[in-house]
Amino acid sequence: MNALFVICGIGVFSLLAEVFNLKRWVTIVSFAGLVIAVGVILLDWSTISYYYHGMLFFDRFAIAFTCLILVISIFWYWMSGDFFKGEAHRTDKSALVFFVIAGALMMVAFNNMAVLFLGIEILSISLYVLAGSNKENLFSTEAAFKYFLMGSFATGFLLFGMTLVYGATGSFNIPMIADFISGHSTLPRFLYIGILLMMVGLAFKISAAPFHAWAPDVYEGSPTPITALMSTVVKIGAFAAFVKIFSVCFIKFNYSLLLFEQGIMVLTLIIANVTAVYQTNVKRMLAYSSIGQVGYLLLAFSSDNAHSSGIVFYYLTAYAIASIMAFTVIQIIETNKGSANIINFHGLLKSNPLMAIAMTVSMLSLAGIPPLAGFFGKYLVFTLSVSKGFVALTVIAVVTSLIGVYYYFKPIVAMYQSAGQPISISKSQKVLLSILIFLNLITGLFPDLVRIF
């Protein structure tokens, strides 16, 4: 909980920095605050705490995902230095980013559906503004508009579902709802409708098919640092919320919801991976990749929703590290060449070997090639699925994963072709890419370091 206070405090400080002319301190205080927040949450590692009459609950699950979000936020802030360089709106951008992080932390620690809704809205409203923060780019404005419209629809589904659940159970408290459901053999039919509507609303947030239509355009049109934020911090928070509510609150409806959830999973895997093959813009390709990764996470969760948290945590860790690495390279390419089209990756190995190696490691990890972290993430998912008897679904996942290998290799092949123009990269970016490469390798070679559940 103290970590949440630190993050909110930095957000408020960023707003006050504009008033008291403290802009030059925003970047230093923000980065230091993230490091302090990680230290604070680690001090609470072995404790279980309730706050605000039980509306927030920090157990091992919430603390682990909070720590992951904060660590990834540190790397994100490191890669996004250029996003905060200009004097104009620096404090506003910093405040909005930290409110996004605060919303994500609330989404992993909620113990009441009202807090879940509050966390989602704090996160979403801030992202609507950040997606359209590049006012000189029409695509950025379009991204913000589309994200706002689709997010509003998702919120409507989620709120309607919560209303029906409350009407059936008489409570917003997660444990009380779970106890009510488990203690009654006959339940109102509209409770089932409410649960399905909540699943649809959260499926929008995690960008699962067929509720993914907003993601490619929003990811491509938003500033690259914001796309990276959506793809990592927001994805982790949203999927952790999905796991928490359907593994604790509605676990009795396992078999009732399973067919619907597996249908979403199959559509997500097929649509995302097949569509990504035809993309020529690496940023848009990674948008479909992000959607496809949700399919593998849903496979793990639907195979064993009560005991898959460790695998989900490991998979999200591996995915987030690879994504931050890829978006760091994309941001540098866009700065030097204007866009992230695959043609602009030609000759990257000769013009900047470190960037080429980092992008290669990232793509291979996302594709699931050993010994990188992404391989063990998919291996754990497939092993769990087969052990629970979902062989057909595992076959579909393996086939779509092989399709993914094809489009992940497209930028790799481009980088190793011909010669390219020299690309400038700062020492800070070199250090960041080196650390991320190392973390990906270590996470892949020693997966038990991350599997904490």
Report the range out of 259-263, 358-362, 426-430 with the highest average pLDDT.
358-362
More confident site: 202 or 182: 202
Identify the pLDDT of residue 88.
64
Phi, psi of 173 (to 5 degrees): -75, 130
What would the two tokens of residue 116 be? 């879940």
Alpha-carbon distance of 10 to 96, in angstroms, equals: 10
Judged against a pLDDT cut of 70, whether residue 417 lies above it is answered with: yes
Judged against a pLDDT cut of 90, whether residue 213 lies above it is answered with: no
Lowest mean pLDDT of 89-93, 277-281, 295-299, name the range: 89-93
Judged against a pLDDT cut of 60, whether residue 87 lies above it is answered with: no
Q: 404 vs 276, 363, 367, 441, CA distance in Å? A: 8, 10, 6, 20
Report the range out of 52-61, 83-92, 224-233, 305-314 with the highest average pLDDT.
224-233
Identify the pLDDT of residue 22.
77
Helix axes 282-303, 373-387, angle to 10 degrees: 30
- Residue pair 1/54 in contact (Cβ under 8 Å)? The answer is no
Residue with the two structure tokens 């000759």: 347
Cα dihedral 437/79/75/362 (nearest 10): -30
Q: Of 377, 208, 406, give the one whose Cα is nearest residue 291.
A: 208
Confidence grade of residue 352 (pLDDT, cut at 50, 70, 90): confident
Q: Name the amino acid, one letter, at 295.
A: G
277: DSSP letter: T
Alpha-carbon distance of 119 to 110, in angstroms, equals: 8
Q: Of 61, 196, 83, give the one whose Cα is nearest residue 133.
A: 83
In 162-225, beta strands by DSSP E? none
Q: What is the mean pLDDT of the segment spanning 72-100?
A: 83
In whole numbers, what is the pLDDT of the chain averaged over residues? 87
250-273 pLDDT, tens digit per residue, is 776 656 677 888 889 999 999 999
Judged against a pLDDT cut of 80, whether residue 306 lies above it is answered with: no
- Residue pair 239/206 in contact (Cβ under 8 Å)? The answer is yes
Judged against a pLDDT cut of 80, whether residue 15 lies above it is answered with: yes
Contacts of 377 by beta carbon, 8 Å cutoff, 6+ apart: 296, 311, 314, 315, 318, 319, 368
Pure H helices in 24-131: 26-43, 60-79, 90-109, 113-131
Confidence grade of residue 315 (pLDDT, cut at 50, 70, 90): very high
More confident site: 64 or 46: 64
Cβ-based burial of 321 (10 A; exposed 0-12, middle 13-18, buried ≥19): buried
Identify the pLDDT of residue 382.
93
Alpha-carbon distance of 185 to 329, in angstroms, equals: 55
Element (H, E) at 177: helix 174-183
Peptide bond into 371 cis (omega under 30): yes
Alpha-carbon distance of 237 to 347, in angstroms, equals: 37
Count Cβ atoms below 10 Å from residue 141 Cβ, excluding itself. Answer: 16
- Residue pair 31/14 in contact (Cβ under 8 Å)? The answer is no
At 281, is the secondary structure helix, strand, or coil? strand
Q: 255 vs 261, 272, 279, 298, 396, CA distance in Å? A: 10, 26, 37, 15, 21
CA atoms within 13 A on the CB side of 77: 24
Cβ-based burial of 8 (10 A; exposed 0-12, middle 13-18, buried ≥19): middle
Alpha-carbon distance of 291 to 235, in angstroms, equals: 10
Strands 49-51 and 56-58: antiparallel
Q: Name the amino acid, one letter, at 78.
A: W
Identify the pLDDT of residue 275.
92
Phi, psi of 341 (to 5 degrees): -65, 150
Q: Name the amino acid, one letter, at 344.
A: N
More confident site: 309 or 255: 309
Identify the pLDDT of residue 86.
64
Judged against a pLDDT cut of 90, whether residue 104 lies above it is answered with: yes
- ∠ CA 188-194-198 to the nearest 5 degrees? 155
133: DSSP letter: -
Q: What is the mean pLDDT of the segment spanning 279-307?
A: 88
Confidence grade of residue 419 (pLDDT, cut at 50, 70, 90): low
Judged against a pLDDT cut of 90, whether residue 280 lies above it is answered with: no
Number of domains in the chain: 1
Q: What is the mean pLDDT of the segment spanning 325-353?
A: 87
Q: Of 359, 365, 351, 366, give the one whose Cα is nearest residue 422.
A: 351
- Residue pair 297/359 in contact (Cβ under 8 Å)? The answer is no
Contacts of 216 by beta carbon, 8 Å cutoff, 6+ apart: 284, 287, 288
Count Cβ atoms below 10 Å from residue 19 Cβ, excluding itself. Answer: 8
* Residue-range definition of the domain harbouring residue 45: 2-449
